[in-house]
Chains A and B, each alone.
Chain A
């Protein structure tokens, strides 16, 4: 085809742009993406590794057995220690 050189050049540029787009995209996809669905599978472990703040009543019983008994005998037996007191991980850190 004569007189269509400019069109072919434009098309060439398009192809170059498209191919580089695909290549860049390939490298930009995060590691574990798509392993179990359309999301980054590593996110699961990341969310699971957030720090735990609250313990539970057994946590307190380890050190405050007497209090646990007092509470168990009292009217507030169903109320968890951490509802009234600070959570275990913020507690008794360096004595």
Chain B
């Protein structure tokens, strides 16, 4: 590696950015996992009935992103073949060591819940099809074709319990990601107890936004009508969480600035001179202010909006918020590494390359995979409930 262009005094080992685009993607993906799950729990646990059209979508969406959550890490590790060391000999004083366990537990929980939700359609498919497909779905049903009212009732109760357990699990899964950064005391931008909370709230924001985008797209593609009540409710939740997220993000910086501690010398310089575009421009003004206004219109001027108008505004706001959360991850992960730990110098600015192990193409591939999974899933087991299924005995009814 060549020496990099730096300003000020940078520790000689601090020349390059160690955590690259992959580590930006990683909290982004786990955030979507946690956020989407929370949406499904709003329906299953908090009885937000108007969210019913997205209950399945958000849960399967959570799984889709969960399945790729380890990929950016593997692409980043110097020795991906040793990745399992993290579960074989976990070092429990490390936040990262918990990842193996939290991930596995959460995966089991989500798969189990989805399986219960889709048990009836799976059994129907197994009954209907022939050959390999029949064998496959019979195995998925674990050979039990019990769709009696009593069995469905048991399933529904279990789902509610699992969805309830899923809320703390989702919070831990993502709170831990925030903690991973918040606990690095060598880094003044990361080292704040606010970090896990900021990560959590922005995770929920991104999750809701992703569900809005997915739902409207899915409905457009399958030629169904979009439920206005559902979008309205999602928009309200999104407004709440986006506002809290932006407040927390600003609070962190304001506190640092106001304390005028040693850290602010370097963090202030970072924000105003190194990443003003992605921080002030994208994360704060474009990403937070504009969606706040847009969603404000949806929430406060509800009576004056037609369904298509509401859907479009919400879609737009959700899309911008997805960018906002990504830029927040970028500003934390990359921004936190631009200054050297000497606190008087800055490294070269990081621009990911198109083709490299941790480059843009890899990132795109990882981000596209969940959508392919969702499309495949939808092919066999619909992500939305068809009208017939709303008849008594539908699996997700509580």
Contacts and interface: CB of A to CB of B under 8 A. Distances in A.
A/B: CB atoms within 8 Å of each other: yes
Interface of A: 2-7, 9-10, 13-14, 25, 28-30, 33, 38
A9 B150 contact: no
B84 A28 contact: yes
Contacts of B148: 3
Nearest to B90: A38
Contact of A7 (B91, B143, B150, B158): B158
A6 B89 contact: no
B119 A6 contact: yes
Interface of B: 84, 87-89, 91-92, 108, 112, 115, 119, 141-144, 146, 148, 150-151, 154, 158
Chain A: interface secondary structure?
helix
A28 B88 contact: yes
Contact of B146 (A5, A13, A29, A33): A5
B26 to A, nearest CB: 23
B169 to A, nearest CB: 15
22 contacts: A3-B146, A3-B151, A3-B154, A4-B151, A5-B144, A5-B146, A6-B119, A6-B146, A6-B151, A7-B154, A7-B158, A9-B142, A9-B144, A10-B142, A13-B142, A14-B108, A25-B87, A28-B88, A29-B88, A29-B89, A33-B89, A38-B92
Contacts of A28: 84, 88
Contacts of B87: 25
B84, B89, B92 — most chain A CB neighbours (10 Å): B89
Nearest to B84: A28
Contacts of A13: 142
A86 B119 CA distance: 74
A9, A10, A25, A33 — most chain B CB neighbours (10 Å): A10
A28 B146 CA distance: 40
A33 B91 CA distance: 11
Contacts of B158: 7
A14 B109 CA distance: 11
Given A3-B151, A7-B154, A14-B108, 12 more contacts: A2-B150, A3-B146, A3-B148, A3-B154, A4-B154, A5-B146, A10-B112, A10-B115, A13-B142, A28-B88, A30-B89, A38-B91
